[in-house]
């Protein structure tokens, strides 16, 4: 008796998401279906390995089902959506079952497997995993995993997109005590349809009849699941190290197997080699960090490829020209020597690594020989790979070959985690469902700070790209010996008309002193002008300096004036004593060649209309310059 | 006229008027007191001082004739924003006898060429006439004794706004051809404009730069086109870049990109956020019309310029 039942999901009274709608949740990524599948599955496998010990193994097996396996498949799909319904899945599966049974099996091992409850309606116990329901039942469940690769859970729709019958069969072996528990279920994402007066979403599951009255199916469990998996040709899983999940994609849409395509008449060897190169090239370009050895020699992940029975080992990325530049840059970024910071708010955003090499190096031809221009790994690198701590390539930012120095280059940026993982969350939340970009503008859930982190990091990375490309125009140097003409006048013209005042040219000190006016009606007050030197001569063998000071003010006033000579020092200060210890002295004061006597009030001078010139004679005690300060100490008016 | 006296006879009492200091900046004559106008490190700078006397007559008037043959004239230049951090050097030092009278015979002009790349902020020029030593009226003069000294200061940099412009070989920087590029890089409207926007002129096209420089500030069509392109490019970059979060209602720091943009927007008649949204829509849908409005605003600016 066949234990496999079909459950086609009906719309509930409250509505559901239709299967075709779910498939569109991936958005419009720029990647091909095969690239999406590889990125998504390696990411899933990596995330599933974080809780387990040992090096996770990822493998892809493309094969034709054996006749016994086709029989098992026919038995598995005994129940199909009703033929009368406008749902293409039934016809597509029938066509597959009548074909040579091409499948692409994507497996991981040393991973956690799809564990946890099998019913999406059951609440989770603390610490309980929801891997099964998130992958098999739910749509768009956020994944909450430290340093994981994904966050939305929409990417799995890529698996259905690449299947020509939009159908996969999932076999998972999870830990159960000392042994393994096997789970097996089929799933298809078709299109919404009507049947028997009911509307259905187009999501279908094939499994064992569930306990609930809803008609839902559960995965086939334990021994029956293991037996069914073996009958369908799934990879054997009997030991603890073989824990993990296998995804069998029915009738994968691979150009090498398109009956009307370029390979329609090609021999199997060419088909195998082409597909092998395609998978190797795609895996390496999108996921090379996962297969690049760490400093301690360990490798994050192992990979095995099998095409129609032949093995295609994945080459070490560090042996592929020019991909080895990326591995060098990754080592540098892993060393965390070159951090990238955000200044406002202060936060370390990640680490940058770079590597450069001559553009003369000949590119590795092993993939290009088969793939031609459709290969993903470029002949010359001028790219920065953006990674989160999980070290999965989110995307590449491209610059250009540094023509000036004839260099190609590679850069790697790995985001930091930050306090409370705030930095990593910022980058993770800015990724679209396909995890192939950082789009802070589109990510509404980001806080302003998180948006700033992503924007600043991208700006800093673009600056590095400009520098590596030799197109950093802000740092551009003029070639040696090039005559330069000043652009100051032009800069001033444009500056004054566009920005007005600001740092730039000078217009001198035109402020003027004036103010003028004022005081016209006031009585002029006594005032002494500044002393002026009138020369030096010998008087009785002593050098004597003569100063002139003009006294102005009301006529016939007789102010008393004090004169204080000083020595001018080098640093601009005034000192009463010369270096030889002697002080300059006032040895005479004259007005119109008549001596002014020194009395009790000091030197009493008489002001005259039009001003009075006072001559002061000062002895110079050493080979020094001297000056004099004059001050009216008593007005002498009236 | 000196305010201090030296322990020997000098020329000070006989100099009735200081020299007239002027600078020639890329051929543009300016008195020191007028500042440099526009100057940068690539400018050709010549400093001149016209003394309203000739050395021979002055030495004769001061009865210092015996010192004339050993006397020298030196100009010492100080540059920098402070004495402590600046640079000081002797720009010229020559025998006074070599200072020939001007053609009119009434004065003497001293000229020196200065390398702008070695200058900064301002220059203070100090002219000295000093003696190699001797005896006058029984007084011994030591070698190096100052007979005359005067100084003047030329302000090189001030607050006459200057827009960042550089010439650059476009082809060697992967920019292909073209005449100019308005490059904008800022993380916030708070960033200073002078570090956020730069006008790059293609030095591979020297004839273009030459024509641009030779144009009149007021009537040059190329200058007008560039002014309006700077405004349009910088505004587009600022307003269409959501990461920068520009708000016309906020007060941005003086000299910042945001503050300058508010001035430009005002010249376009945009003073409110609603009007700003309309302008952004115009930038997206009718960029040609937006650029024409910038041309119009820049024409007004040029006419308003002093």
Q: B163 to chain A: which residues are within 8 Å by CB?
A: 491-492, 494-495, 498-499, 504
pLDDT reading at A516 higher than 70? no
Write out the two tokens for A322.
């020019």
- Please report where in the chains the tokens 């008489």 appear, as a residue: A606
- Using alpha carbons, list the distances in angstroms from residue A300 to A290, A313, A333: 5, 16, 16
Q: What is the pLDDT of residues B116-163, one digit of tens each?
A: 988 988 999 999 999 999 999 889 999 999 999 999 999 998 877 788
Residue ranges covered by each domain of chain B: 12-155, 165-304
Neighbour tally for B110: CB within 10 Å: 20
Q: What's residue A1's pLDDT? A: 52
Window A:399-418, CB contacts with B under 8 Å: 400, 403-404
Contacts of A203 (CB under 8 A, 6+ apart): A8, A9, A19, A22, A187, A188, A189, A190
Check CB contact of B164 with chain A, cutoff 8 Å. Answer: yes
CB A235, CB A61: distance < 8 Å: yes
Distance from CA of B306 to the nearest CA of A (A): 9
Nearest beta carbon to residue A506 from set B31, B157, B230: B157
CA distances for B7 relative to A256, A616, B70, B127, angstroms: 105, 15, 18, 20
Three-state DSSP at A4 gives strand
Nearest neighbour of A508 by CB, restricted to B13, B35, B298 = B35
How far apart are the C-alpha atoms of A183 and A175, rounded to whole Å? 11
Per-residue confidence (pLDDT) for residue A515, from 0 to 100: 41
Rounded Cα–Cα distance for residues B256 and B264 (Å): 12
B237 touches chain A (CB under 8 A): no
Q: Which domains does chain A have, with CATH numbers?
A: 16-118+131-166+183-264+297-309 (no CATH), 315-469 (no CATH), 527-634 (2.60.40)
> With an 8 Å Cβ cutoff, is A585 touching chain B?
no
Task: Tell me which architecture the domain covering B12-155 has in CATH.
Answer: Sandwich (2.60)
Dihedral sign of CA atoms A502, A503, A504, A509 in order:
positive
User: For A30-39, A259-268, A455-464, A509-518, which range has the lowest pLDDT when averaged over its residues?
Assistant: A509-518
For B259, nearest residue in chain A (alpha carbons): A499
Tokens linked to A633: 């100490």
pLDDT digits (tens, 9 = 90+) for A113-123: 999 999 888 88
Of B174, B226, B302, nearest to A470 by CB-CB distance is B174
The chain B residue lying nearest A535, using CA atoms, is B9
Residues of A in contact with B9 (CB under 8 A): 535-537
Segment A127-168, tens digit of pLDDT: 888 899 989 988 765 554 555 555 445 578 889 999 999 999
B179 contacts chain A (CB < 8 A): no
Q: So what's the ipTM on this one?
A: 0.78
Closest to A462 in 3D by CA, of A438, A486, A445, A496: A438
B13 touches chain A (CB under 8 A): yes
pLDDT tens digits, A467-507: 999 877 766 554 444 456 788 888 888 887 887 766 677 77
Chain A residue with the nearest C-alpha to that of B187: A456
Residue A239: phi and psi, rounded to 5, are -105, 165
CB distance A509–B155 less than 8 Å? yes
Q: Minimal Cα–Cα distance from B224 to chain A, Å?
A: 9
pLDDT tens over chain B, length 306 residues: 688 999 999 999 999 899 999 999 988 899 998 888 888 888 999 999 999 999 989 999 999 999 999 999 999 999 987 777 889 999 999 999 999 999 988 899 999 999 998 898 899 999 999 999 999 988 999 999 999 999 999 999 887 778 889 888 888 887 888 999 999 988 889 988 888 999 999 999 999 999 998 888 777 899 999 999 999 999 999 999 877 878 899 899 988 999 999 999 999 999 998 999 999 999 999 999 999 999 998 875 544 443
pLDDT tens digits, one per residue of A177-190: 889 999 999 999 99
Q: Which of A470, A482, A486 sits opposite B40 (nearest CB)?
A: A486
Please indicate whether residue A31 or residue A94 has the higher confidence score (pLDDT). Answer: A94
Cα distance from A508 to chain B (closest Cα, Å)? 4
Report whether B54 contacts B61 (CB < 8 A): no
Cα separation, B227 vs B221, in Å, equals 10
Q: What is the pLDDT of residues A193-228, one digit of tens each?
A: 999 899 999 999 999 987 667 788 999 999 999 999
Of A471, A499, A536, Cβ closest to residue B175: A471
Give CA–CA dist A327/A37, Å, rounded.
23
Measured in whole angstroms, the distance separating CA A505 from the mean position of its chain's CA atoms is 39
Per DSSP, the residues of A264-308 read: TT--HHHHHHHHHHHHHHHHHHHHGGGGS--TTS--S-EEEEEET
The answer, for B171 touching chain A at a CB cutoff of 8 Å, is no
Mean pLDDT of chain A: 87
- What share of chain A has pLDDT > 90, as a percent? 58
| pLDDT, tens digit, 9 for 90 and up, residues A320-356 | 999 999 999 999 999 999 999 998 789 999 999 999 9
Here the tokens at position A51 are 């809780």
Contact B172 A404 (CB under 8 A): yes
Chain B residues close to A440, C-beta within 8 Å: 243
* Contact (CB<8Å) B162/A504: yes
């Amino acid at each position: 008796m066949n234990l496999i039942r079909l459950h086609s999901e009906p719309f509930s009274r409250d509505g559901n998401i239709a299967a075709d709608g779910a498939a569109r949740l991936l958005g419009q990524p720029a990647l091909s279906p095969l690239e999406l599948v590889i990125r998504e599955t390696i990411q899933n496998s990596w995330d599933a390995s974080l809780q387990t010990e040992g090096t996770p193994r990822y493998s892809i097996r493309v094969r034709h089902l054996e006749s016994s396996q086709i029989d098992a498949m026919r038995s598995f799909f005994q129940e199909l959506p009703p033929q009368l319904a406008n749902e293409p899945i039934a016809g597509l599966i029938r066509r597959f079952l009548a074909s040579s049974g091409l499948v692409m099996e994507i497996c991981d091992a040393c991973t956690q497997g799809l564990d946890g409850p099998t019913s999406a309606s059951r609440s989770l116990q603390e610490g309980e995993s929801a891997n099964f329901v998130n992958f098999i039942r739910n749509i768009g469940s956020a994944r909450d995993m430290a340093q994981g690769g994904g966050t939305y859970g929409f990417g799995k729709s890529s698996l259905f997109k690449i299947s020509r019958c939009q159908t996969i069969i999932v076999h998972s072996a999870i830990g159960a005590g000392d042994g393994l528990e096997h789970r097996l279920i089929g799933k298809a994402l078709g299109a919404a349809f009507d049947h028997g007066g009911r509307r259905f979403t187009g999501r279908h599951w094939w499994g064992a009849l569930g306990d609930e009255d809803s008609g839902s199916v559960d995965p086939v469990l334990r021994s029956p699941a293991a037996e069914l998996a073996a009958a369908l040709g799934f990879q054997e899983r009997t030991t603890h190290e073989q824990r993990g999940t296998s995804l069998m994609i029915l009738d994968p849409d691979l150009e090498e197997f398109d009956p009307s395509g370029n390979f329609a008449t090609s021999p199997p060897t060419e088909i195998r080699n082409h597909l092998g190169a395609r998978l190797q090239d795609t895996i390496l370009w999108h996921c090379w960090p996962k297969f690049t050895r760490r400093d301690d020699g360990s490798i994050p992940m192992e990979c095995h490829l099998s095409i129609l029975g032949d093995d295609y080992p994945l080459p070490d990325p560090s042996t592929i020209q020019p991909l080895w530049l990326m591995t060098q840059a990754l080592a540098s970024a892993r060393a965390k020597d070159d951090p990238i910071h955000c200044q406002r708010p202060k936060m370390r955003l990640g680490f940058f690594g770079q590597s450069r090499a001559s553009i003369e190096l000949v590119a590795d031809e092993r993939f290009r020989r088969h793939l031609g221009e459709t290969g993903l790994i470029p002949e010359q690198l001028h790219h920065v790979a953006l990674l989160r701590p999980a070290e999965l390539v989110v995307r590449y930012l491209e610059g250009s070959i540094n023509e000036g120095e004839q260099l190609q280059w590679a850069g790697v940026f790995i985001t930091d985690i930050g306090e409370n993982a705030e930095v990593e969350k910022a980058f993770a939340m800015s990724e679209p469902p396909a995890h192939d970009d950082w789009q802070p503008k589109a990510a509404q859930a980001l806080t302003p700070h998180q948006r700033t982190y992503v924007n600043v990091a991208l700006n800093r990375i673009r600056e590095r790209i400009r520098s590596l490309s030799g197109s950093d125009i802000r740092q551009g140097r003029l070639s040696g010996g090039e005559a330069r003409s000043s652009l100051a006048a032009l800069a001033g013209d444009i500056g004054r008309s566009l920005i007005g005042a600001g740092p730039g040219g000078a217009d001198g000190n035109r402020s003027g002193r004036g103010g003028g006016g004022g005081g016209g009606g006031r009585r002029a007050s006594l005032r002494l002008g500044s002393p002026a030197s009138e020369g030096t001569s010998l008087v009785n063998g002593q050098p004597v300096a003569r100063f002139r000071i003009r006294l102005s003010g009301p006529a016939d006033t007789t102010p008393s004036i004090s004169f204080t000579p000083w020595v001018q020092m080098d640093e601009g200060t005034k000192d009463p004593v010369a270096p030889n210890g002697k002080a300059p002295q006032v040895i005479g004061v004259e007005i119109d060649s008549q001596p002014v006597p020194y009395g009790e009030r000091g030197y009493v001078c008489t002001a005259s209309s039009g001003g009075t010139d006072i001559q002061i004679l000062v002895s110079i005690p050493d080979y020094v310059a001297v000056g004099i300060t004059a001050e009216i100490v008593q007005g002498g008016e009236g | 006229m000196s305010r201090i006296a030296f322990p020997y006879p000098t020329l000070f009492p006989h100099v009735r008027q200081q020299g007239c200091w002027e600078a020639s900046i890329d051929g543009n004559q300016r008195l020191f007191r007028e500042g440099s106008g526009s100057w940068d490190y690539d400018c050709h700078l010549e400093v001149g001082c016209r003394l309203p006397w000739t050395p021979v007559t002055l030495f004769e008037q001061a009865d210092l004739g015996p010192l004339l043959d050993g006397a020298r004239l030196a100009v010492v230049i100080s540059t920098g924003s402070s004495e402590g951090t600046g640079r000081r050097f002797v720009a010229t030092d020559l025998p006074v006898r070599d200072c020939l009278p001007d053609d009119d015979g009434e004065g003497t002009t001293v000229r020196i060429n200065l390398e702008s790349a070695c200058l900064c902020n301002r220059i203070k020029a100090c002219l000295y006439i000093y003696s190699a030593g001797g005896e006058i009226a029984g007084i011994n003069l030591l070698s190096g004794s100052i007979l005359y000294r005067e100084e003047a200061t030329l302000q090189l940099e001030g607050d006459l706004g200057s827009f960042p412009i550089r010439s650059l070989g476009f082809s060697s920087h992967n920019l292909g051809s073209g005449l100019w590029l308005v490059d904008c890089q800022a993380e916030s409207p708070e960033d200073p404009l002078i570090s956020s926007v730069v006008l790059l002129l293609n030095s591979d096209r020297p004839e273009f730069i030459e024509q641009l420089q030779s144009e009149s500030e007021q009537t040059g069509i190329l200058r007008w086109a560039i002014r309006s392109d700077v405004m349009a490019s910088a505004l587009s970059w600022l307003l269409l870049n959501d990461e920068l979060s520009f708000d016309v209602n906020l007060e941005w720091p003086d000299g910042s990109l945001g503050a300058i943009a508010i001035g430009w927007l005002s010249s376009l008649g945009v003073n409110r956020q609603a009007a700003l949204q309309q302008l952004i829509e115009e930038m997206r849908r009718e960029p040609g019309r937006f650029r024409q409005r910038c041309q119009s605003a820049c024409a007004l600016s040029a006419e308003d310029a002093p």
